[in-house]
Amino acid sequence: MLHAPPPLEAAGSPVAHNRCLLRDLGGHGAVPADPSALYGADAATTQFLLERILRKRGTARRLVTSSSSPGSSSVGAADTDSGEPQDPAVSAHGLVPVSGSPDRADRTPAASGPGTSPATALHGPLESTAQVPASRLSAHLGPGGRILIVANRLPVTAKRDPVKKWEFPSSSGGLVSALQGVKDEELMFVGWPGVSVTDDDDQTFIKNELFKKRCVPVFLNEELMDQYYSGYCNNILWPLFHYLGLPQGHKVNKTKDFKSQLKAYTEANQMFADTVCGISKEGDIIWCHDYHLMLLPKLLKQFNTNMKVGWFLHTPFPSSEVYQALPNRKELLQAVLEADLVGFHTYEYARHFVSACTSLLGLEGRLGGIEFKERIVKVDAFPIGIDAQHFKESLDRDAVKVKITDFESVFAGRKVMLGVDRLDMIKGLLQKLLAYEKFLEENKGWESEVVLVQIAVPTRTDVPEYQELKSQVHEMVGRVNGKFGTFKTYPIIYLDQTVEFEALCALYAITDVALITSLRDGMNLVSYEYVACQESNKGVLILSEFAGAAQSLGAGAIIVNPWNIAEVANAIKCALDMPSGERERRHRHNYEIVSAHTAQDWAENYVWELTNAVIKAPLGTGESVIGLPIKEVAEQYAKSKSRLLILGFNATLTEQVQSFETRATDQTGNTTLKLDPGLKGALKTLCDNEDTTVVVVSGHGKSVLDEVTS
């Protein structure tokens, strides 16, 4: 939707004289997190929106967010937290620890930007749920074409048993699960096998065995992994992308050799590129995943400029003001822009990426993406989902039914609240416990009527900051239980462990309120899993506005700012007291979204858009623009009684500018743009017509437009 501000009231401005609405999409201040805000300036914003709204093709399955509620422009999005800083293995929504059972909490993404809507804010629905036939993908892959999935980790792990025999256990779920939507295509996975192998014979054996599983290993030694993965990826990029900033204080010592970490990052990306180039063939498309491989698109294009390459980020992409602190900020952006399709989980992160490219590289946003090296790099949002059917079917298993009965017996007579998180700074555990404590303080009697079951899956247990967080959480749990507990009941049941899948499904099913208070969470698919298991109970979801899932589930959830302890405490009371009719209405909305927009749809959509993006905008060309049929438009204009004209500014009402530096003002702040003299009179005539509303869409601020149009 197009959100127009109040009319510009510039004294003496003929354009602003009557009904000309000037919209600032320049990225400074609050900007709606809808598709129209992605590409700024004169990127045919309205055409983009109309195409989104009106198109009927099956790929129109995109998340649309509303900015009608206060602050919703900052609701953010999407990291399946696939890239959490620990030794990961590919999981259903990203990456989970190698050891132990798959950690469902690790499928919770990483976060969004600051400030969104209040507890009752509603966010927009998802678009069409039509399927994209697999044959449409096949038509573009070419004869024998494959999809090469390149990620930091393979979906299998190479391990040696006690007798030195190699084993290759598969990770549960993972990108493999998400890619079921394109299962008719041939998939190959490229990534680190989870172990450093230096022996040539062992490497050969592992390669042969993994090839049987459609996996190709990239062998990185321990030193390289330490510098590339533990160093640059998880000590530099991951904190920055989650708004934790670059390391400071005692942690600076870890980054004093930044050059060596960046060198290792570059070397590792080159090794991934060499492996991909060694197995790729004509007709293949390459899908690169996450911040570990930001240099990979450029390295692949250097090998073959016609290679179809996509890059997808599973974490948030921070605002340009945060991102610009990165020393090699331009290099990474330029490398990513070599891809044909750049994907994120939400429009907010896509907008942040476009803004960074605009402010740091001086590039222009265009219809659907960024103009880079005389071509359009498509930038879009692809919100991931889950395999909802798998969760629904699991509830019918005997093992799950038994656990449901057991839990119902244990918690009989009490409302159950549930939290499932990694024990991580971005998950807002301390804020959650503070809010729960405040709720109990302000609502006497509830301490024996409600229980919070908090599962906090350990992660990075060797890192001092995480050890300190664990101590703080334990202390707070003890304080609340000591203050409000009795000999029979405790208000908090806290587990520092993973939970088996059957038990988790049972917990989801019997829970009355799910409480997610992430401070930065890309998508948080725990919220999706909870909704999928709630068809009978119709439980209430309290969801942080800083979780990407708030953009799709916001209309059915109670959206909160986790930093506002009083607001979260009030939301808990609201959820526990909510009438059954409202619970059912909210759940029905979210259940339809979770059921219709799955992980398979996500993968299918991305692959389709990647193949389509390459066809529409090959290297060295821009997208063609069809001119308006002027005669027909003029005839319809004359016949109409009420008219809305939406005009671009740069290169439409003014001369086209070629660089960021000369777009609006010179170094002294003087305006360099000039309104075409031949258009000023015509524009004023249109604005003076009471039956005509004129909207000028621009990336420039109101002050610039005031001066230019006066």
* Dihedral over Cα of 215, 218, 222, 224: its sign: negative
* Dihedral over Cα of 688, 689, 690, 691: its sign: negative
Q: Determine the average pLDDT of the residues in 423-435.
A: 97
DSSP 189-255: EEEE-SS----HHHHHHHHHHHHHTTEEE----HHHHIIIIIIIIIIIIHHHHTT--S--GGGHHHH
Domains of the chain: 20-44+633-709 (no CATH), 145-381 (3.40.50.2000), 388-596 (3.40.50.2000)
Looking at residue 673, its pLDDT comes to: 65
Nearest to 189 by CA among 158, 151, 157, 227: 151
Angle at 368 between CA 364 and CA 372, to 5 degrees: 40
Query: Residue 142 pLDDT more than 70?
Result: no
Give strand ranges (E) for 82-208: 88-91, 94-97, 146-153, 159-160, 166-167, 186-192
Task: Assess contact for 365 and 41: CB atoms under 8 A.
Answer: yes
d(CA 467, CA 154): 29
Bigger pLDDT: 320 or 667?
320
Q: Lowest-pLDDT range, 56-60, 203-207, 214-218, 565-569?
A: 56-60
Q: What is the DSSP letter of 169?
A: P
Looking at residue 181, its pLDDT comes to: 58
pLDDT digits over 444-481, tens only? 999 999 999 999 999 889 889 899 999 999 999 999 99
Query: Residue 267 pLDDT more than 50?
Result: yes
Query: Residue 164 pLDDT more than 50?
Result: yes
pLDDT digits over 18-40, tens only? 333 333 333 333 333 343 334 33
Q: What is the DSSP letter of 327?
A: T
Bigger pLDDT: 442 or 629?
442
Looking at residue 85, its pLDDT comes to: 53
Query: Three-class SS of residue 392?
Result: helix
Query: Residue 2 pLDDT more than 60?
Result: no
Q: Determine the average pLDDT of the residues in 342-364.
A: 94
Query: Three-class SS of residue 102?
Result: coil
Q: Determine the average pLDDT of the residues in 352-366.
A: 92
pLDDT digits over 647-671, tens only? 877 667 776 544 433 444 443 344 4
Bigger pLDDT: 654 or 184?
654
Looking at residue 170, its pLDDT comes to: 80
Q: Determine the average pLDDT of the residues in 704-708.
A: 74
Q: Lowest-pLDDT range, 67-71, 217-221, 315-319, 685-689?
A: 67-71
Structure tokens at 253: 């010592």
Query: Residue 99 pLDDT more than 50?
Result: no
Query: Residue 151 pLDDT more than 90?
Result: yes
pLDDT digits over 404-413, tens only? 999 999 999 9
Looking at residue 482, its pLDDT comes to: 97
Looking at residue 140, its pLDDT comes to: 56
Q: Determine the average pLDDT of the residues in 416-434.
A: 97
b/e per residue, 53-79, with b = 16+ CB within 10 A? eeeeebbbbbbbbbbebebbbbbbbbb
d(CA 116, CA 455): 26
DSSP 622-664: ----PPP-HHHHHHHHHH-SSEEEEEE-TTTTBPPP-SGGGSS
d(CA 446, CA 444): 6
If phi > 0 it is left, if psi is from -120 to 50 it is alpha, else beta; for residue 379 that is beta
Looking at residue 174, its pLDDT comes to: 53
Bigger pLDDT: 324 or 121?
324
Q: How confident is the model at residue 247 (pLDDT cuts 50, 70, 90)?
A: confident
Q: Determine the average pLDDT of the residues in 205-210.
A: 95
Looking at residue 626, its pLDDT comes to: 58
Structure tokens at 441: 């303080």
Angle at 282 between CA 276 and CA 287, to 5 degrees: 45
Looking at residue 84, its pLDDT comes to: 54
Bigger pLDDT: 651 or 72?
651
Query: Residue 113 pLDDT more than 50?
Result: no
Length of the chain: 710
Bigger pLDDT: 631 or 344?
344
Bigger pLDDT: 662 or 178?
178
pLDDT digits over 612-626, tens only? 886 544 444 444 455
Q: Determine the average pLDDT of the residues in 275-286.
A: 94
Angle between helices 134-141 and 599-616 (to 10 degrees): 40
Q: Determine the average pLDDT of the residues in 105-116.
A: 34
Find the Cα–Cα–Cα–Cα dihedral 331, 332, 335, 337, rounded to 10°: -110
Task: Assess contact for 178 and 108: CB atoms under 8 A.
Answer: no
Average pLDDT, the chain: 78
d(CA 155, CA 187): 12
Nearest to 527 by CA among 580, 603, 428, 594: 594
Query: Residue 483 pLDDT more than 70?
Result: yes
Strand pairing partners for 217?
A: 191
Query: Residue 67 pLDDT more than 60?
Result: no
d(CA 347, CA 519): 18
Q: How confident is the model at residue 184 (pLDDT cuts 50, 70, 90)?
A: low
Looking at residue 272, its pLDDT comes to: 98
- Number of Cβ within 10 Å of residue 655's Cβ equals 11
What percent of the chain has a predicted confidence (pLDDT) above 70?
A: 71
d(CA 188, CA 167): 19
Looking at residue 650, its pLDDT comes to: 67
Q: What is the pTM of this model?
A: 0.71
DSSP 333-390: HHHHTTSSEEEESSHHHHHHHHHHHHHHH---EETTEEEETTEEEEEEE------HHH
State CA 623 to chain mean position distance. Answer: 26
Looking at residue 353, its pLDDT comes to: 97
- Residue 118, classified by CB atoms within 10 Å of its CB into exposed (0-12), middle (13-18) or buried (19+), is middle
Highest mean pLDDT among 9-23, 65-79, 156-170, 419-433: 419-433
Q: Lowest-pLDDT range, 195-199, 475-479, 671-675?
A: 671-675
Structure tokens at 680: 């000023």
Q: How confident is the model at residue 65 (pLDDT cuts 50, 70, 90)?
A: very low
Looking at residue 637, its pLDDT comes to: 84
